Every structure is written in structure tokens, then in C-alpha cells.
Amino acid sequence: MDAVLQTMVDERIGPGERKKEFLRQFQTFVNIAGGGIALRSYVDALKTALKLAGVTNGSLVAASVLSPSVYAKIASDLGATLLLGDIDPNTGCLAEDQARSLVNQGATAILLHEPSGMIPYQADFSSLGIKVVEDITQSLGSSYGDIKAGGWGDIVVCAFEEEGVVSTAGGAAVVFSDNAYRQALKELFGDELIYQELPDMNAALGIVQISTVETQLARRKELYKLFRQSLLKTQHKLFGIGNIDFEPNGYRFSVVLDSRVDDVVKFALKYQVSSARTFEGCVGEPYQDRFDLFPAAIPCIMRGLSFPIYPFLSGADVEMLMKVISHLP
């Protein structure tokens, strides 16, 4: 509140110094020291990143079948088409061998979705010879050893919506290490830039959250580990990476059920615990009968369920979540 009120008092609520400061702090956090831009919408950020990656009319873009449906819409708006690949069952992200196959089919860029805090820690997309646009909206703060979210992309996108680890009440950033993208970025926007950059009002919120993000992540990780221990008492499977060296950001707690999703949702609601289908609305929903193409991803689409993780959950709320997760039918 103080940050937003100070911005109002300063009478500078459009794009200005706070936007620049927020972008600088964000780049420091993700360890990407090159250029970038903070925009007012996630859609604009994804389109910008794909354009910087050379995606034009007629391009083919590789993506995971678990990717959000907005990816397909954005590709279509650019005159491009998504080529869908299966996931690595160990990470929940696009499998490297699938990406290679899509490149052989003509894909000229990868739009890398990292769902529920997962990262493709076993993959080496750099060997494919095409640009990678890495979307760390859900994985911001996740790490495996010295590598963390943002370490696979030539261009990195992160949205700051309400559900984000960092929220500016809307908006997104596009960042990159290669300064060769700077001039291309200027040419994309020209005189329209002032109308598309993130306003200082939103950036002020982001600055405050970036300053405390390590504390918030520590709490999220703590809750994630507690819920993971609770899940071990059931027959259900943790979604994504189970390796003990992986540090999830606690974006949410996702499982792949061994039972009907609707039954589990009703069970959780009996104890006033909210849950949601993890991949509802993903680009792969129309392909739930194609086990021949996407054997690893389809069980996640059909039976994936997520529980919320909020840093400020009370002790009683945490205990109830643990109890519900440990007794999932």
C-alpha cells in the first residue's frame, strides 16, 4: 500500500522510473543481465518474445501438449502454428526427444511451458539449433543445483498476474542476455512503446514483492514439502519432479490422481479445501484419446489436480490441507 500511495503522491503512475527499477530487480533475480521490457499484458509479452525469436507468418512453433491454450491463439495471431509434443514424465515439461522430432518436422522455435513450478532440468534444447522462448510464469524461483528457471531460454517471459509468485496485478516481462535483441525490440514498438509498457503503479507492487520474494519462496517450498509428505500416504502420484535435489517454487501443489477427479474435488470441498484441474483448458484437451501420440501427458490432462499454496496460510489451514491430501480417495 505504501509503495502504491507513494507512486500516486509522486503523480507518476505511467511507465517511468519504477518500471525500470522493477525490471532491473527482476533481471537480477533471474540472473539475466542483458536487455528486456516490462509490458502491460502477458499476451503482448509472448507475442513480443516469439517475434524476437523470428516467428512470422507460416512459422511452426514447438510446444508441450500441456501448454495453456493461449499459446495456440498467440501463434495463430502471428500466422504461425503450434506443433505439439509429449512431456518428459520426470519433469512435466516438453521432452527433449519430442522437441527434436518437432524440429525435424519444421519447427523454428520452441515455446517452453514450465507447469506447476517444474523445470526441464534434464534437457539440452541448445543442441537443437533453434531459439527457445522460455515461459517461467509458473516456475519463477524453481531450481535444480545451480540452474534455475530462466536457464533454458534465449528469451524469457514471465507474467505477473494474480496467481504469480510475483504479482503486479497484471503485466509481464520479456528479458534476454543477448544484446542483439535490443535493436529488434525497439523496432517492434517504435512510438507505441509508451502505451504498452508496464505502468509505475503496477511496477511499485512488483518492487515490493521482489524485495521479499526469497522469504515468500522459502515459505512456499516449506508447504510444498509438507504436502508432498502427506501425499506419500496415498496411492496418488506427485506431478513432475520428485528428485530431492530439485527445489520447487511452490507455485501450487499438483498431483496425478489414481481415481476420478470429480470425486476428489467433492471430497476436498467437504473440508472447505479448494482444488482445480491442473490442465483444464490446455492445448491438449482435444487429444485425450491420443495415447499413441501423448502417452505421458494424457493422464495429467485427465487426472491432474492442484491445491493452492499461499505463503500466508494459517497453521490451521495448513493442517487441514495436509489432512485432506493424506486421505485423498
CATH of the domain at 55: 3.40.640.10
Instruction: Please check whether residues 172 and 317 belong to one and the same domain.
Output: no
Its sign, for the CA torsion 279, 89, 99, 179, is positive
Instruction: Please check whether residues 221 and 162 belong to one and the same domain.
Output: no
Query: Which of 165, 196, 211 is where one domain is finished?
Result: 211
The per-residue b/e assignment along 151-183, b for 16 or more CB within 10 angstroms, e otherwise, is bbbbbbbbbbeeebbbbbebbbbbbbbeeebee
Evaluate whether 328 touches 267 at the Cβ level (below 8 Å): yes
What's the grid cell of residue 317?
489451514
Q: Which residues are bridge partners to 96 per DSSP?
A: none
What's the grid cell of residue 170?
497484471
- Give residue for cell 504479482: 167
Domain count, the chain: 2
Query: Which of 153, 182, 211 is where one domain is finished?
Result: 211
Predicted pLDDT at 313: 87
Instruction: Please check whether residues 178 and 235 belong to one and the same domain.
Output: no
Instruction: Please check whether residues 9 and 138 belong to one and the same domain.
Output: yes
Q: What is the pLDDT along the chain (329 residues), one digit of tens a residue?
A: 565 555 544 555 445 688 999 999 999 999 998 899 999 999 999 999 999 999 999 999 999 999 999 999 999 999 999 999 999 999 999 999 999 999 999 999 999 999 999 999 999 999 999 999 999 999 999 999 999 999 999 999 999 998 899 999 899 999 999 989 999 998 998 777 778 999 988 998 899 889 999 999 999 999 999 999 999 999 999 999 999 899 999 999 999 999 999 999 999 999 999 999 999 999 999 999 999 999 999 999 999 999 999 888 899 999 999 999 999 99
Instruction: Please check whether residues 280 and 310 belong to one and the same domain.
Output: yes
Burial class (CB in 10 A: 0-12, 13-18, 19+), 265: middle
Instruction: Please check whether residues 272 and 147 belong to one and the same domain.
Output: no
DSSP-derived letter for residue 94 is B
Instruction: Please check whether residues 184 and 290 belong to one and the same domain.
Output: no
Query: Which of 160, 183, 211 is where one domain is finished?
Result: 211
Instruction: Please check whether residues 74 and 27 belong to one and the same domain.
Output: yes
Instruction: Please check whether residues 105 and 137 belong to one and the same domain.
Output: yes
Predicted pLDDT at 9: 47
Instruction: Please check whether residues 218 and 207 belong to one and the same domain.
Output: no
d(CA 183, CA 318): 49
Residue range(s) defining the domain that contains residue 252: 213-326
Q: Which residues are CB-neighbours of 205 under 8 A, at least 6 positions away?
A: 3, 4, 167, 168, 169
| CATH number, residue 292 | 3.90.1150.10
d(CA 36, CA 181): 9
Evaluate whether 169 touches 147 at the Cβ level (below 8 Å): no
Please report, as a single letter, which amino acid is at residue 309: I
Instruction: Please check whether residues 199 and 62 belong to one and the same domain.
Output: yes
Instruction: Please check whether residues 190 and 251 belong to one and the same domain.
Output: no
- The beta-carbon contacts of 220-223 under 8 Å, at least 24 apart in sequence, are 220/141, 220/165, 220/249, 220/250, 220/251, 220/309, 220/311, 221/247, 221/248, 221/249, 221/250, 222/250, 223/250, 223/253, 223/309, 223/313, 223/318
Evaluate whether 250 touches 220 at the Cβ level (below 8 Å): yes
